[in-house]
Chains A and B, each alone.
Chain A
Amino acid sequence: MSQLKDAILATTANGDKAFVPYIMAGDGGLEKLQSTISKLQELGVTAIEVGIPFTDPVADGPTIERAGERALANGTTLRKVIETLAGFASEIKVPLVAMTYLNPILAYGVEQFAQDASAAGIRGVIIPDMPLEEKDIIHPALQEANIALIQLVSLTSTPERVERLTKASEGFIYAVTVNGITGARSSFANELEEHFAKIQDYTDTPVLAGFGISSPDHVKSFGAFCSGVIVGSKIVDSLANDDWATIEELVLASKVATVR
C-alpha cells in the first residue's frame, strides 16, 4: 500500500488531475520550508516533491540548479532538510516525495535515511542518477519504511525498458516529457500522447508528466492524457519571487472545473 499512490488515485477519482509542485528545500532558507509546504497544501496540491540540493545535479535544468546553489550556499543538507521536516511532521497533510541524488543518501546511510525520511513525512523518493539495475542498493530499506521508489521513464527508453521501468515504479510513474533536463519549454513533441498511452498500458499505477511544464495550458494539455503533472522550474521561480498568484493559477488548472 502506498499513501502516495492512494493520494493520486483519490484526486483522479474526483475527476481532478494530480498536481505535484517541486520545491527546492532551503532556497530562501530552511525556515521557509514549513510555511511553503502549508500554503501549497492549502492550495490543494496532491503531493509535494522536495528537492535536496546537491553539488553535482546532473539531471537539473538551470533554474533548479541555481536554486540548489542558493540552498547549498546557506548550508542546506539532506540531514538538515529531514530534521526540519520532522520538526513539523504532524502538520504535513500531503505525501512528500524527496528528489535527491544517490550520493547524499549513501553518505547519510541508506537504512538510517529510510527511517528518518519516513518519520519526516516522506512517502516517496526519486533518485535520478540511480538506474533500475542498481535499485537493490536502497529498495529493501525503502520498502521496510513504506517509501515508494519512483522510476523515471524517458522518451528515449526502448519499449522493453519502458515496460520494466513502469512495472517497477512505485507510487507513480514519472514520465519525462522533454528530452533532457528540467526547464520550461514552450512546445512539446506530438508523439507524447502515444508514449503516455503505452506507459499506462503496462500498469494501474498512475502516470504523471514532468519536466518542462510551465503554464496552466501545459497542465491542462498533459492532464488530458495522464493522471497529472509535476511542475518544477516554474514553481521554483515563482517561490523565489514570492509570486503565489502564478502558483495558484497552475494548481487551479488541474482542477475539474477548469479541465473541460
Chain B
Amino acid sequence: MSQTAIKNGYYGDFGGSFVPEDLQEVLQYIGEQYEKYKNDPEFNEELEYYLREYAGRENPLYLAENLTKQLGGAKIYLKREDLNHTGSHKINNVLGQILLAKRMGVKRVIAETGAGQHGVATATACAMFGMECTIYMGAKDTKRQALNVFRMELLGAEVVAVDKGQGLLKEAVDEAFADLVANYKNTFYLIGSAVGPTPYPEMVEHFQSIISKESRAQHLAKEGKLPTAVVAAVGGGSNAAGAFYHYINDEEVRLIGVEPAGAATLSKGSPAVFHGFKSYVLQDEEGNLLDTESIAAGLDYQGVGPLHAYLHTTGRGEYVTATNEEVLEAFKTLSRVEGIIPALESSHAVAHALKLAPTLSPEDSIIVNVSGRGDKDVEQVFAMLNK
C-alpha cells in the first residue's frame, strides 16, 4: 500500500487513537513493541513456523468447478481459510499477536469475541503457549454460539458473558478495554479484528495479509494473471483486509467487501469516533450507536476498520450488502454444490459471488475468501430452517 496513505495510525481521515488517558501509553507501548518485531527476522521465522506447522498454512486456492459451471460466468476460486486450525482466518492474527505478547513477557491474554471464532483461536494459542486466557463475549452471542463457549472452556479459557446493552460484540470490546486499563501491567489485549485504536488495525492487517500474499502467488501460478475481483465478508474487516492487502496497488483488481444488510456500516453509516478510532459507524443524528441485526454473530458490529473506511471513500474498494435470506441460500449452495460448509460470515462473500459471477465472462476470475468453516453455525441454521 502506498505509504502516504497510512501515517501515524491514520488512513486518510480515518483511524487514530481516541481512548481515555489511562490507555494512551499502554497502546503506545504495544505499538512500539509491534514496530520493533514486525520486521525482526527471528520473530518472523517463528511466526512462519507456527503458521505452517500449527495452523496448517499455506491453505489452498481452490477452483470451485461445480459452482463455476452452475453459474456460467467468471471462474470462482475459494481461498480456504476455513481449513486453518481452529477453522477460520482468526488464527493468523492470533499467532502473530501472541508471539508479540510472549516477547513482551506478558503472562495473561484477553480477547473479545463475537461468533466465538476469535475466542477459540485465542484460547487455542494460549493453551499452546501456556498463557492465562480470559475471553469476553456478549451474553446474546454466548447463547447463539454455545458450542464455541464450551470449546473455549475446554481449551482452558475463562469465558465472561457480558450482559450489557445488546449483549453483542460491541459490549465485549468495551469490557476487554476496561480489563486492559485495570491490568495492563501483566495483560495483553489480543484484539480480533482490524479495529480499535492505533496500533491495532495496522497490526491485525499485517498479520492477516498472509491471506493475499498466498492467494496472489497461487492465482498467478494457476492463471498467469491477477484475478478480476476479490470478495470478502466485512465485519470489523480483518479477513477482508487480509484478502485485499496485496492487491491494493493492483488497480485492475476489484476489491469487494460484503456487509450484512442489517449491519451495513459502510453502505449506511457515516464517519464517527467509536471504540477508540475514527471510521464509518452506524449512528443516529445525535451520534449514538444504532442497533445491528445479522444472522452472523461475527458481523454483528456497528463499526468497521479504518482501512475499509479509507478504501470506501477513495473508491478503491466496493462495499455491498447481502440479506440474511441471500446468506442462508449461499450457505446451502456452497455446501451442496462443492461439499464445503462455509461460516455464515463467509457466506456473505459467497452470496455476492453468486450474484457477480454470472455477470462476468469465463475469462474473468473471482477469489472468494472463505474466512471460516460453518460447523459452528450448523445448529443455528438447523433451528432457523425448522422454525
Contact of A55 among B16, B181, B273, B288 (CB under 8 A): B288
Per a CB cutoff under 8 Å, which of A105, A152, A153 touches B287? Answer: A105
User: Is B287 touching A78 in the complex (CB atoms < 8 A)?
Assistant: yes
A35 contacts chain B at the CB level, 8 A cutoff: no
- Is B26 part of the binding interface, using a Cβ–Cβ cutoff of 8 Å? yes
Q: How far is the CA of A161 from the CA of B21 in the complex (A)?
A: 10
Q: Tally of A-B residue pairs with Cβ under 8 A?
A: 99
Give A108 to B16 CA distance when docked, in angstroms.
21
Q: Is the CB of B21 within 8 A of A176?
A: yes
Q: Does A128 reach chain B (CB closer than 8 Å)?
A: yes
A78 contacts B286, CB within 8 Å? yes
Bound form: Cα–Cα A104–B281 in Å: 13
Query: What residues on B are CB-neighbors of A161 within 8 Å?
Result: 24-25
Residues of B within 8 A of A54 (CB): 287-288
Q: Do residues A56 and B170 form an inter-chain contact, with CB atoms below 8 A?
A: yes
Do residues A107 and B20 form an inter-chain contact, with CB atoms below 8 A? no
CB nearest neighbor in B for A127: B18
Residue pair B22, A154 in contact (C-beta under 8 Å) = yes
Which B residues are CB-close (under 8 A) to A59?
20
Q: Which residues of B contact A152 (CB under 8 A)?
A: 20-21
Residues of A158-210 whose CB lies within 8 A of B: 158, 161, 165, 176, 179-181
In contact, B24 and A131 (Cβ under 8 angstroms): yes
Contact A77 B286 (CB under 8 A): yes
B184 on the interface (CB 8 Å rule)? yes
Write the nearest CB–CB distance from B49 to chain A, whole angstroms: 35
* Residue in A77, A108, A128 whose beta carbon sits within 8 Å of that of B20 in the complex: A128
Within 8 A of B (CB), among A59-97: 59, 65, 69, 72, 77-79
Main secondary structure of the interface of B (DSSP, over half): mixed
CB-CB under 8 A for A129 and B272, given A54-B288, A104-B287, A156-B26: no
Q: CA of A65 to CA of B184 in the docked complex: distance in angstroms?
A: 22
> Any chain A CB within 8 A of the CB of B146?
no
Contact (A103, B19) CB under 8 Å given A58-B177, A156-B184, A158-B25: no
- Chain A residues, Cβ within 8 Å of B165: 55, 69
Provide the residues of chain A in CB contact with B289, threshold 8 Å.
55-56
Most interface-central of B164, B177, B184, B286 (chain A CB within 10 A): B286
A85 CB to closest chain B CB, in angstroms? 16
How far does the alpha carbon of A58 sit from the alpha carbon of B8 in the complex, in Å? 23
B274 within 8 A of partner (CB): yes
Does chain B have a CB within 8 A of A102? yes
Residues of B within 8 A of A179 (CB): 22, 181-182
B16 touches A134 (CB 8 A): yes
Instruction: Judge whether B167 is part of the interface by a CB distance below 8 angstroms.
Output: no
Contact with A along B259-284 (1 / 0, CB 8 A): 00000000000001111100001010
Q: How far is the CA of A104 from the CA of B284 in the complex (A)?
A: 10
Shortest CB distance B340–A (Å): 37
Interface residues of B (CB under 8 A from A): 16-22, 24-26, 164-165, 170, 174, 177-178, 181-182, 184, 272-276, 281, 283, 285-289
Not counting A130-B18, A176-B21, A179-B22, a sample of 20 additional A-B residue pairs whose C-beta atoms are within 8 angstroms of each other reads A54-B287, A55-B165, A58-B178, A59-B20, A78-B286, A103-B288, A106-B273, A106-B287, A107-B272, A129-B20, A129-B276, A131-B21, A131-B24, A151-B21, A152-B20, A154-B22, A156-B22, A157-B24, A180-B182, A181-B181
Q: A-side interface residues toward B, CB under 8 Å?
A: 54-56, 58-59, 65, 69, 72, 77-79, 101-108, 128-131, 133-134, 151-158, 161, 165, 176, 179-181
User: What are 18 A-B pairs with beta-carbon distances under 8 A?
Assistant: A55-B289, A56-B170, A58-B174, A58-B276, A101-B273, A102-B18, A103-B288, A129-B18, A129-B19, A129-B273, A130-B273, A131-B18, A131-B24, A154-B21, A154-B22, A157-B21, A180-B22, A181-B181
